[in-house]
Chain A
Amino acid sequence: MSPLIFAILLIIFAALLCLLLSFNERSAGLVVADFSSGQLHLPALIALAGTILGLLAIVPSCAIALFRDTLPGCGEFMRAWFLLPIICVGILSALHSIAYLDKSFSPLRRGVYWFFFNMTVAMMLLVTQAEHPVIFLLAWEGMGLFSFALIMFDYKQKENMHAAWIYFLACQAGGALLMLMFFAGAFPLFVFICGMLGFGLKAGAPILHIWLPGSYQAAPAPASVLLSAGMINLGFLGILRWLVLPDPALAPLLGYSLLICGMPGALLGIFFAMPQKNLKRLLAYSSVENMGLIACGLGFGFLSIHWQRADIALLSFAAAGLHLLGHSLLKGNLFLLTDHVYRASGELNLDKLGGMQKILPGTGYAYTLSAMAISGLPPGNIFMAEILLYVAAARGIASDKLSVVAPSLALFLTLAFCGVLAMTVFSKASAAIFLGEPRSKAARRNLAVPPLMKRCGIAFMVLLLIFLCGSPFLAPRLMHAFVGQYESLYSADLGAELYASALDARRLLGLVLSCVLLVGMLFILLWRVRRKYLPYSTAVPPRRFTWDCGFAQPTARMQYTGTAFVQPLVELFAPLLRPVKKILLPRGLFPKKASYELSCHDGSEQIFWRPLVNFTVRLAIFSHRLQSGHLHLYVLMLISALLALFIWGFAM
Chain B
Amino acid sequence: MSMFVWFCGLLLSLLLCPLLSGLICKLKGIFVGCPGPSVWQPYYDIIKLLRKGSVYSQTTTWVLPLAPLISLAAMLCAMLFLPFAFVDSPLAFEGDVIVFFYFLAGARVISVLAAMDTGSSFAGMGASREMQFSSLAELGMFCILAFLVMTTGNFSMSGLLNGAGILIWSYSGTALLLVIIAFFILLLSENCRVPIDDPDTHLELTMIHEAMVLDYGGPDLGIIHYTAALKLWLFTSICSLIIVPAGLFSGFSGLLLFILAQFLLGVLVAIVEGTAARFRFLKVPQFLLAVPGLTIIAIIMLLLFK
Contacts and interface: CB of A to CB of B under 8 A. Distances in A.
Interface of A: 354-355, 357-358, 364-365, 368, 372, 375-378, 383, 386-387, 390-391, 394-395, 397-398, 402, 405, 409, 412-413, 415-417, 419-421, 423-424, 427, 430-432, 434-437, 504, 507-508, 511-512, 515, 518-520, 522-523, 526-527, 530, 534-537, 539, 541-549, 554, 556, 558-560, 564-569, 572
Interface in B208-229: 214-215, 218-219, 223
B4 interface: no
25 contacts: A355-B119, A378-B99, A383-B102, A391-B94, A397-B149, A397-B150, A398-B149, A409-B299, A412-B142, A412-B146, A420-B134, A424-B131, A507-B93, A508-B95, A519-B73, A519-B74, A539-B53, A541-B53, A543-B55, A544-B55, A544-B57, A554-B120, A558-B121, A564-B128, A569-B131
* Chain B interface mostly: helix
- Counting from the closest, the 5 A-B pairs by CB-CB distance are A560-B124, A536-B53, A431-B116, A416-B142, A436-B119
A394 B204 contact: no
A560 B95 contact: no
Contacts of A526: 69, 72-73
A508 B56 CA distance: 40
Interface in B19-73: 50-63, 69-70, 72-73
Contacts of A372: 106, 109
Interface in B111-129: 112-113, 116-122, 124-125, 127-129
B77 A522 contact: yes
Nearest to A396: B149
A547 B215 CA distance: 6
B253 interface: no
Contacts of B121: 548, 554, 558-560
Interface of B: 50-63, 69-70, 72-74, 76-77, 93-99, 102-103, 105-106, 109, 112-113, 116-122, 124-125, 127-129, 131-132, 134-135, 138-139, 141-143, 145-146, 149-150, 153-155, 204, 214-215, 218-219, 223, 285, 292, 299, 303
A408 to B, nearest CB: 9
Given A431-B113, A527-B69, 15 more contacts: A365-B62, A412-B146, A415-B142, A421-B135, A432-B116, A436-B116, A436-B117, A511-B96, A522-B76, A530-B69, A535-B53, A546-B58, A547-B215, A559-B120, A564-B124
A543 B102 contact: no
A368 B105 CA distance: 15
A517 B139 CA distance: 28
A373 to B, nearest CB: 11
Given A398-B153, A559-B121, A537 B219 contact: yes
B80 to A, nearest CB: 8
Contact of A377 (B76, B105, B129): B105
B155 A413 contact: no
A378 to B, nearest CB: 5
Contacts of B105: 377, 419-420, 423
Nearest to B128: A565
Nearest to A315: B95
A377 B106 contact: yes
Nearest to A376: B102
A560 B127 contact: yes
B19 to A, nearest CB: 22
A554 B125 CA distance: 15
B116 A417 contact: no
Contacts of A364: 61
A518 B141 CA distance: 25
Contacts of A539: 53
Contact of A434 (B54, B61, B132, B143): B61
Nearest to A439: B119
Contacts of A377: 102, 105-106, 109
Given A416-B142, A559-B119, A559-B124, A543 B285 contact: no
Nearest to A425: B131
Contacts of A413: 139, 142-143, 146, 292
A541 B124 contact: no
B175 to A, nearest CB: 15
A395 B156 CA distance: 11
Contacts of B204: 549
Nearest to A387: B98
Contacts of A397: 146, 149-150
A564 B106 CA distance: 22
A351 to B, nearest CB: 13
A416 B138 contact: yes
Contacts of B135: 417, 420-421, 423-424, 569
Contacts of B61: 357-358, 364, 434-435
Contact of A427 (B120, B131, B292): B131
Nearest to B125: A560
B296 to A, nearest CB: 9
